[in-house]
Copies of this chain bind each other. A is one copy, B any other.
Amino acid sequence: MLLEAARAVFAENGYERATVRSIAARAGVDAAMVNHWFGGKEGLFAQAVLKLPFEPAELVTVLRDGPVEELGSRIVRTFLTRWDGVGGDTFQALIRSIAGHEAASTVLRDFFLQFFTGLLSDLGGDRRELRVALCASQLVGMGLVRYVARFPPMVEAEVDTLVTAVAPTLQRYLTGDID
């Protein structure tokens, strides 16, 4: 599948360094087909990476289910599991493309905005915009360090280890004292 190959190459190289030729070669099709089917590199990126494999609202519904005190845990575990699994290429491609493609920032920002705003609307509480940004900063940072910059201890750490370590941070950003 061409879209899969595109996600993989964009995930490895980011938007700029990824070439249409290498994506096509990986998928076993001709480079001309990319332009024929998707209207160019831009269109391919939009279809392959900017269409996220899940909706924020759907994820909110899943995570609402459970005790509020363990919300941080469920969030960290959910993201790590998805990023370690099949949805990971999309996230990695997004992160790696932030420098080279404006829309990557926008999609990432909108996703976290909708996701955490949805969660926080249930919880009440003040300073929601800041809380959202704080949560996003820790999750994105964890993703960047684990999947892109590849700090060894973060790469090798088990999901459970990271959940235990990071969950209290999210929990505080969502429901605790931040001023």
In the complex, which range does the number of interface residues on chain A fall in? 35 or more
A40-90 at interface with B (beta carbon < 8 Å): none
Contact residues in B for A142 (Cβ distance below 8 Å): 137, 141
Looking across the interface, which residue of chain B has its beta carbon closest to that of A95? B99
A100 vs B138: C-alpha distance in the bound complex, in angstroms?
A: 23
Contact residues in B for A96 (Cβ distance below 8 Å): 98-99
B136, B140, B145, B168: the one contacting A133 at CB < 8 Å is B145
Least CB distance, A138 to chain B, in whole angstroms = 6
CB atoms of B130 and A140 under 8 A apart? no
CB atoms of A98 and B144 under 8 A apart? yes
Least CB distance, A63 to chain B, in whole angstroms = 20
- Please choose the segment from A1-9, A29-37, A149-157 that sits at the chain B interface, where 4 or more of its residues have CB less than 8 A away: A149-157
Q: Does A17 lie at the interface of the complex (its beta carbon under 8 Å from any beta carbon of B)?
A: yes
Q: Does A105 lie at the interface of the complex (its beta carbon under 8 Å from any beta carbon of B)?
A: yes
Q: Does A164 lie at the interface of the complex (its beta carbon under 8 Å from any beta carbon of B)?
A: yes
Contact residues in B for A129 (Cβ distance below 8 Å): 152-153
What are 5 sample pairs from A and B whose C-beta atoms fall under 8 A apart?
A: A17-B99, A99-B100, A109-B151, A136-B154, A165-B178
Residues of chain A whose beta carbon lies under 8 Å from any beta carbon of chain B = 13-14, 16-17, 95-100, 105, 108-109, 112-113, 129-130, 132-134, 136-142, 144-146, 148-154, 157, 161, 164-166, 168-169, 172-173, 178-179
